């Protein structure tokens, strides 16, 4: 399993420590560096091999967007997740233009961060077979950073999820499918959502006693 090297760019030491603890809890990642300034982040990206940047947009000596502009101009092609209190339209739009596909507004939970990191890990580990011809839906998913084109391993998992879902006509949650197949909940949910996109499943919220809906998936596969 490839371990992905992560740079945390955050000027608040306490927030940086919490973020580092979150990253350390994810088995696919390790922290390669922490920078508290724009200058420090720019230097780290120039000197270290980094797969993922967790980037604050507001730094004491500049903007995270400027760090990213410089890094892209110098050839950095890795992934970036924005972790910031900045939520104005212009910042979000420019971040998107610079290749930021995940944007978490502070405060954020470890669960929310890990979900984005899971998606980044799938993207960086090359789910698209080399030389594969893509249809329009596959191209759209790659360009938007949503559910990626699957490898043979992912395809096998998708088939297992489809079979398990078809065996449960009353519907089931992503957590239950994950427990049944030994998958992480976020992985099970990703495959269930892919089945929905393919028209092989449907999803609807079911409200429980706590008042928060649970998403329940049902198979539409015939036979």
Determine the angle formed by the axes of helices 185-197 and 174-181, rounding to 10 degrees: 110
Contact 174, 215 (CB under 8 A): yes
Helices (H) and strands (E) in the chain, counts: 9, 9
Which two tokens mark 20?
A: 């580092």
Which of 32-69 are b and which e, b meaning 16 or more Cβ less than 10 Å from the residue's Cβ?
bbbbbebebbbebbeeeebbbbbbbbebeeebbbebbe
User: pLDDT value at position 57?
Assistant: 93
Which two tokens mark 149?
A: 């084109």
Task: Indicate the class that CATH gives domain 4-124.
Answer: alpha beta
User: pLDDT value at position 140?
Assistant: 58
3-state helix, strand, coil in the chain (%, to 5): 45, 20, 35
User: pLDDT value at position 147?
Assistant: 44
Residues in the chain: 223
What is the residue extent of each domain of the chain?
A: 4-124, 136-219
Per residue in 131-158, pLDDT (tens digit) is 455 556 555 555 555 544 445 556 778 8
User: pLDDT value at position 54?
Assistant: 97
Task: Indicate the class that CATH gives domain 136-219.
Answer: mainly alpha
User: pLDDT value at position 115?
Assistant: 87
Q: Which residues of the chain have pLDDT under 50?
A: 127-131, 147-150
User: pLDDT value at position 87?
Assistant: 78
User: pLDDT value at position 19?
Assistant: 95
User: pLDDT value at position 150?
Assistant: 47
Per residue in 77-101, pLDDT (tens digit) is 889 999 988 878 888 888 888 888 8
- Between CA 12 and CA 10 the distance in angstroms is 6
User: pLDDT value at position 18?
Assistant: 94
């Amino acid at each position: 399993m490839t371990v992905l090297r992560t740079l945390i760019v955050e000027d608040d030491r306490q927030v940086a420590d919490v973020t580092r603890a979150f990253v350390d809890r994810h088995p696919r990642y390790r922290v390669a560096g922490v920078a508290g300034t724009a200058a420090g982040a720019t230097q780290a990206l120039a000197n270290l091999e980094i797969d993922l940047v967790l980037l604050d947009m507001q730094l004491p000596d500049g903007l995270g967007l400027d760090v990213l502009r410089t890094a892209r101009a110098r050839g950095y092609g890795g992934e970036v997740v924005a972790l910031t209190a900045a939520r104005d339209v212009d910042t979000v739009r420019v971040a998107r233009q610079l290749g930021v596909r995940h944007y978490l507004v502070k405060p954020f939970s470890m669960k929310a961060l890990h979900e984005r990191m899971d998606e980044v890990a799938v993207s960086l580990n090359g789910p698209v077979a080399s030389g594969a011809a893509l249809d329009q839906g596959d191209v759209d998913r790659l360009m938007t950073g949503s559910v990626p084109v699957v490898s043979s391993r992912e395809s096998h998992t998708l088939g297992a999820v489809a079979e398990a879902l078809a065996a449960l006509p009353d519907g089931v949650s992503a957590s239950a499918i994950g427990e049944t197949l030994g998958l992480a909940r976020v992985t099970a949910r990703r495959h269930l959502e892919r089945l929905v996109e393919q028209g092989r499943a449907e999803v609807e919220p079911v409200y429980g006693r706590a008042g928060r809906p649970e998403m329940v998936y049902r198979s539409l596969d015939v036979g």
